[in-house]
Chains A and B, each alone.
Chain A
């Protein structure tokens, strides 16, 4: 399946708000990353970013609510591989997320998820949806030498 933008749809699916879904999505996307041709290091980076994003969606967004799901869309264009993860939570402001690298936050128990997504992907977009929910788009460029 392809769109007018030239992107090819790889995955388009809902998942329940469980930790099991985090593992399943990680595995599904790693398989897609292999099929697309990413090397081992990039596969690891994509898997890490996806896991962090899914945990945020399940735990912080949907709060394990069995009546809420996480929607996953994976597409590939000529230049990049894109993963979109959408939850049905209340949404959040990225400006309100403490900087995990700040000295006052280094020893915090949590709060590194968004930072790691940005560290491992070429682009991360976070959009607060109306009336509710958060959509995170993770993008990895294709064709970079390892």
Chain B
């Protein structure tokens, strides 16, 4: 199942719930387009909820990284929530785990935005 995204607001934080597979094609494109729209609409605090992401390939990792830099370049912050073991392992072996601010619990993640 290609990635599906749903956006909601929790206070001044935009939470993007992602589910399914983030792979080259529809899944990665959907994430890219959503993050760009959020930046273009002025959102500065973005929390990507990946707890229902079952699979991510290097293209998906690339979109996470691009999203991170796009939001940062616009003066905002993108954080990650709810990594499965496999996604966490992937970010660790690519040395990206320490690049992102990763949280396990949504309320704590939302409070962490300055």
- A19's partner among B25, B86, B94 (CB-CB below 8 A) is B25
- B61's partner among A22, A59, A112, A119 (CB-CB below 8 A) is A112
Closest B residue, CB atoms, query A58: B24
In the complex, identify which listed stretch (B37-45, B64-72, B103-111) lies at the interface while the others stay far away: B64-72
Per-residue interface assignment for chain A, residues 13 to 31, with 1 indicating a CB less than 8 Å from any chain B CB and 0 otherwise: 0000001001000000000
A19 close to B24 (CB less than 8 A): yes
B93 close to A22 (CB less than 8 A): no
B7 at interface by CB-CB < 8 Å:
no
For the residues of B in contact with A, the DSSP-based class is: helix
Q: How many chain-B residues does the 8 Å CB contact rule pick out?
A: 20
In the complex, identify which listed stretch (A69-77, A83-91, A101-109) lies at the interface while the others stay far away: A101-109
B contact residues vs A (CB 8 Å cutoff):
23-25, 57-59, 61-63, 65-66, 68-69, 86, 90, 93-96, 99
Given contacts A44-B86, A52-B58, 11 further A-B contacts (CB under 8 A): A48-B57, A55-B57, A101-B95, A106-B96, A107-B69, A108-B65, A109-B63, A109-B66, A113-B58, A116-B93, A116-B94
